[in-house]
Amino acid sequence: MSEFVPSPSHPIRVLLVDDQAMIGEAVRRMLLIDPTVEYRYCGDPTQAIQVAAEFQPTVILQDLVMPDVDGLMMLKFYRQNPGTRDVPVIVLSTKEEPKTKAEAFSLGANDYLVKLPDPIELAARVRHHSRGYVALMERNAAYVALKLSEERLASELAQAASYITSLLPERLVGDIATDWAFIPSVELGGDAFGYYDIDADHFALYLLDVCGHGVKAALLSISAINVLRNQTLAATDFCSPAAVLAGMNQAFQMERHNDLYFTLWYGVFNRRSRELHYGTAGHPPIILVGGADAATATARPLKAGGLVIGAVPNVTYQPEVMHLPPFSLLYLYSDGVYEITRPDDTMMEFDEFVAVVDQAPRNLTAGLASIITTIRGIRGRPDMEDDVSMVALQL
């Protein structure tokens, strides 16, 4: 173990509590062999707690036999007082009785010396106990700092989650009906989604998922969703998913955004033709539950692909088109909804997730609620490992 070196912030400070001034002077001279030690003498035991609060000792030397208040009673006072509860106490006594020593240790003494001890031994014990006390204080301070940091981070994450939630769209009713679930993880990821009318015929819908967790991921998510919802990509036709993906990729190159990238699914539904034009940038395939009616509708994932947004500049994205059947439920989601670990540590497979969707009620709100409930049941607990975003649309 390396030698304990006192610092200006944690000097060795010895407080002697003894009713005999002669002993106080003798101890002072003994401790002169260690110039790093700061020394204070208190001849009145009734003032010891107050003096300790002012002096902040790293070791208290406590006389055992004193008038009015004996040393054993002082040990009780030290251990009951928050300011001296953890300060090492070395009992100084003329008594070498095992019973007295045992009682002193039972009341909180850290050491016991018969006075007057050898100066070298006294200095060594003072340094030893000071080392332990300073280490305890540093650990306590580090723990408090860590707790404050965790509380600040939790507050920042909660504020970021609240802001992201405020940007999410209102649920729609009518020819296009929507419902959604947004479940932030403890660390907060970068999920975001939205939908809006481009014009009377074209309805845009999108969902993105930023890599990583924390405030940085949330901030990138907020920036990206604001670009999409406000249609602020220059010279971009927002009715063209391939053009939107290419524009987002150029605007959000990862070297300009803390080396973060994101996946994105963007689609445009044409009310007149019932065609869904869409494109994907590394995002999981959306699931269509479609058929002539609810009774005959089945679930199937639509084609997906494309490079994530931000990885490589000047990417060309493949446009896809799908004619939607009379009954169509679309499910957009982030991968956190199915990349889950069961209680037996096995991972859920994507095909299992598709089956969960296929077994859900053919109803917008009931279907979404059923899927989330089933996923939580498979996970075996209500919280999620990653952010979960899921949007259900009946078109």
Q: 39, 18 in Cβ contact below 8 A?
A: no
pLDDT given for residue 102 in this prediction: 92
3-state secondary structure of 276: strand
- Rounded to the nearest 5°, which phi and psi values hold at 319? -75, 140
Query: 177 pLDDT exceeds 90?
Result: yes
Torsion angle, alpha carbons of 106, 25, 52, 136, to 10: -60
pLDDT given for residue 394 in this prediction: 96
Tens of pLDDT, residue by residue over 18-65, are 999 999 999 999 999 988 899 999 999 999 999 999 999 999 999 988
C-alpha Rg value of the chain to the nearest Å:
35
- State the chain's mean pLDDT as an integer: 90
3-state secondary structure of 53: helix
Query: What's the sign of the alpha-carbon dihedral 226, 228, 229, 233?
Result: positive
Tens of pLDDT, residue by residue over 377-390, are 999 988 887 888 99
Query: 2 pLDDT exceeds 50?
Result: no
* CA gap 155, 218 in Å, rounded: 14
Q: Residue 144 — pLDDT band, cuts 50, 70, 90?
A: confident
* CA gap 215, 209 in Å, rounded: 14
* CA gap 265, 228 in Å, rounded: 12
Lowest mean pLDDT among 67-71, 178-182, 265-269: 67-71
Q: What single-letter amino acid sits at 116?
A: L
Q: Residue 129 — pLDDT band, cuts 50, 70, 90?
A: very high
pLDDT given for residue 219 in this prediction: 82
pLDDT given for residue 186 in this prediction: 60
Of the candidates 26, 20, 96, which has an alpha carbon nearest to the alpha carbon of residue 63? 20
Q: What single-letter amino acid sits at 161?
A: A
Helix, strand, coil % (nearest 5) of the chain?
A: 40, 25, 35
Q: What single-letter amino acid sits at 158?
A: A
Most confident of 156-165, 180-189, 355-364: 355-364
Tens of pLDDT, residue by residue over 196-248, are 999 999 999 999 999 877 778 888 888 898 899 899 998 899 999 999 999 99
* CA gap 262, 381 in Å, rounded: 27
Residue 323 in tokens: 């004619």
Q: 384, 183 in Cβ contact below 8 A?
A: yes
Cα distances from 56 to residues 12, 21, 60, 81, 380, in angstroms, run: 10, 21, 10, 13, 51
End-to-end CA distance of the chain: 72
Query: 180 pLDDT exceeds 90?
Result: yes
The whole-number average pLDDT for the span 306-319 is: 94
* CA gap 165, 192 in Å, rounded: 8
Structural domains of the chain, with CATH:
12-141 (3.40.50.2300), 168-394 (3.60.40.10)
Q: Residue 1 — pLDDT band, cuts 50, 70, 90?
A: very low
* CA gap 29, 37 in Å, rounded: 11
Strand arrangement of the beta sheet that strand 275-281 belongs to: 190-197, 202-210, 262-270, 275-281, 320-323
**191: burial class by Cβ within 10 Å (0-12, 13-18, 19+)?**
buried
Q: Which long-range contacts (CB under 8 A, 24 or more apart) does 104-111 make?
A: 104/64, 104/71, 104/72, 104/75, 107/72, 107/75, 107/76, 107/79, 108/75, 108/76, 108/78, 108/79, 109/62, 109/75
